[in-house]
Structure 1
Amino acid sequence: MRVAVVTVGDELLVGETVNTNAAWLGEQLRDRGVTVERMTTLPDRTGDIARVVNEYHAEYDAVIVTGGLGPTHDDVTIEGVAAAFGREAVESEEAVEWLAEHGGYSHAELADGTGEIPAGSRPLPNHEGVAPGCVVENCYVLPGVPTEMKRMFAEVADDFEGETRHVVTVDAAEPESALLDRIQRVRELFPVKVGSYPGEYVTVRFEGTDTEAVEDAAAWLRERVEPVAE
C-alpha cells in the first residue's frame, strides 16, 4: 500500500511548530507495512490543498491530511479537500449529532462551520476535541492537534495495511565514503533496501520483507566494518 501524507499549516512552514504529526504518522504506517512515498507540508491556502490532494489521491492508494480543521479564518482544509473532489463543504448532520450526544454541544453553541465536511464523505468523530475529521474516497482528513490526530487515526488505522518489513541496523566507526564499496557489494548480494546515515558514526540500515535476507545482509556487513567502541 502506497500512501502520501499532507500536513497543513503556515506555522509548520516557518518553524513555529515542529511537524511531529508527519514523523508519528510515518512511523505508524511503516509499522503497519505501508510505504509512505510523499510527505508534503502546505500553507493554509485552499488552492494549494485542492491541487495537491487532487494529484495525490489519483496517484496513491491513500492520502492522509492533517491540520486546518475548525471554524477559524485559517482553517481551510475541509474547503480545499472538498474542492479537490469537486464537492461542496456541507454541514454533516451525523457529526453535529455526535457532538451533541458525546460532547454536550447544542447546535447553537457550535461556531459556524464546525460540523462541515465534504458532501458525501464519512465523518470521523473527534474524541479529544471538537472539529470532526472525515474520509472522502481514499483521502483521510485528521486534525492538526497531535492528541486529536492520534486518537482519530486509531479509528481508521485498520484501513492501512501492507507487508510487514524487517529492519536491522549496523553501526560503523568509519567514514561513509570509506564504506561505499562494501555497501555496494552488500546490495549486490542480498535483495534488501540499504541506506547509510552519517553522524557521530555511520549507521547502515537494512530493510526488506524477507527477514532472513535482512539479517544475513546485516551480518555480512557487520563482519566487514570497524565496530563502534562500547
Structure 2
Amino acid sequence: MQVALLTVGDEILAGDIENTNATWLARQLTERGVTVTRILTVPDDRGLIAETLRDWTAQFDAVVVTGGLGGTPDDVTMDAVADAVGVEMAVNDEAKTDVEATIAAYREQYPDLAERYPDLDLDVTQHASIPAGARPLLNTVGLSPGCVIGGVYVFPGIPEEMKAMFDAVAEEFGGSVVSETLYTDAPEGALTEQLRTARDEFGVAVGSYPSRGEPNRLKIVGEDAEAVAAATAWLREHVETVDR
C-alpha cells in the first residue's frame, strides 16, 4: 500500500509550529508495512489543496490529510476535499449528533462559558458538514469530525485529535514492507561497499543515517522478509555493529 501525507497550515510553513503530525503518521504507517511515498505541507489554500488531492488520488492507494478543520475562515480543508472529489458539502447526521453532544458536554463542564464569552457562537452546521457521501470520522477528543472519501482520509491538525482519529482507522492501512535496523560506530564513508553489496545481492534498500555523537543507524527495507533477514545477517558479518 502506497500512501501520501498532506499537512495543511500556514502556521507550519511559517515555522510557528513543528510538523509533528507528519512524522508521527509516517512512523505509524511504516510500522504497518505501508510505503509512505510523499510528505508535503501546503498553505490554507483551497484551490491548491484540491489540486494536490486530485493529482495524488490518481497516483497512490490513499492520501492522509491533516489540518484545516474547524469553524474559522482559514479552515478550508473539507471544502477543498469536496472540490477534489467533485461533490458538495453536506451536513452529516452522525457528525451533527456528535458535535452537538460535544458542545453540550463542554458547556456543562464550563457553566460560566456563555457569561465569559457572550459572543461565542459554535456553528453546528458548519462543524458537522463534510463532503457529501463521505464516511464521518468522529472526533473523540475534540469537536470537528474528519472523514474518508475517495481514498482520502481527513484528520484534524491538533495532534491529540489526529492520533485518536487515526487509531480508529489504523486497521485500514497495511502493506508488505518490512525493515530491520542495525547500529555501528563505523563512519559512513567506510561502509559504502558493504551497503552496495547488501543492496545488490539481496534486492533490498539499505539506508545509512549518521548521527553525531551517537552510533550510525543502518536500515534495511524490502517487501521480502527473508531477503531483509538475509541482508541483515550479511551486514552483521561484514560491519562491526553495536547494541543500542
Aligned pairs for 1:139-150 within 5 A: 139-150=152-163
Residue number in structure 2 paired with 1:34: 34
- Letter in structure 2 aligned against 1:149: M
Residue number in structure 1 paired with 2:236: 222
Give 1:120's match in structure 2, choosing from 129, 133, 137.
133
Query: Secondary structure of 2:39's match?
Result: strand
Task: In structure 2, list runs of 5 or more residues that go unmatched.
Answer: 107-119
Shift of 1:191: 2.5
Please give the alpha-carbon distance, in whole angstroms, between the structure 2 residues aligned to 1:40 and 1:8: 9
Shift of 1:211: 3.5
Q: Kindly indicate whether residue 165 of structure 2 is the aligned counterpart of residue 163 of structure 1.
A: no
Shift of 1:203: 2.2
TM, length-normalised to structure 2: 0.85
Q: CA 1:124–1:228 in structure 2 vs 1: closer, same or farther (change >3 Å)?
A: closer
Aligned pairs for 1:74-153 within 5 A: 74-101=74-101, 103-104=103-104, 110-111=122-123, 113-153=126-166
- Letter in structure 2 aligned against 1:76: V
Q: CA 1:11–1:109 in structure 2 vs 1: closer, same or farther (change >3 Å)?
A: closer
Aligned pairs for 1:160-199 within 5 A: 160-163=173-176, 165-174=178-187, 176-199=188-211
8 Å contact kept, 1:99–1:105? no
8 Å contact kept, 1:82–1:118? yes
Shift of 1:158: 1.4
Q: CA 1:105–1:72 in structure 2 vs 1: closer, same or farther (change >3 Å)?
A: farther
Please give the alpha-carbon distance, in whole angstroms, between the structure 1 residues aligned to 2:241 and 2:2: 36
Task: In structure 1, list runs of 5 or more residues that go unmatched.
Answer: none
Please give the alpha-carbon distance, in whole angstroms, between the structure 2 residues aligned to 1:133 and 1:229: 42
**C-alpha distance after superposition, 1:12-45 (max 9, x if no partner):** 1121111111011111111111111011111011
Please give the alpha-carbon distance, in whole angstroms, between the structure 1 residues aligned to 2:101 and 2:89: 23
Aligned pairs for 1:45-64 within 5 A: 45-64=45-64
Give 1:154's match in structure 2, choosing from 160, 167, 184.
167
Residue number in structure 2 paired with 1:208: 222
Query: Secondary structure of 2:36's match?
Result: strand
Shift of 1:227: 4.7
Q: Percent identity among equivalent residues?
A: 46
8 Å contact kept, 1:170–1:218? no
Q: CA 1:100–1:182 in structure 2 vs 1: closer, same or farther (change >3 Å)?
A: same
Shift of 1:229: 9.8
Please give the alpha-carbon distance, in whole angstroms, between the structure 1 residues aligned to 2:87 and 2:222: 40
8 Å contact kept, 1:68–1:143? yes
Shift of 1:185: 1.4
8 Å contact kept, 1:172–1:225? no
TM, length-normalised to structure 1: 0.90
8 Å contact kept, 2:3–2:60? yes
Please give the alpha-carbon distance, in whole angstroms, between the structure 2 residues aligned to 1:37 and 1:164: 13
Q: Paired residues, what number?
A: 228
Shift of 1:212: 3.8
Shift of 1:228: 5.7
**C-alpha distance after superposition, 1:77-107 (max 9, x if no partner):** 011111111122222222112223455379x
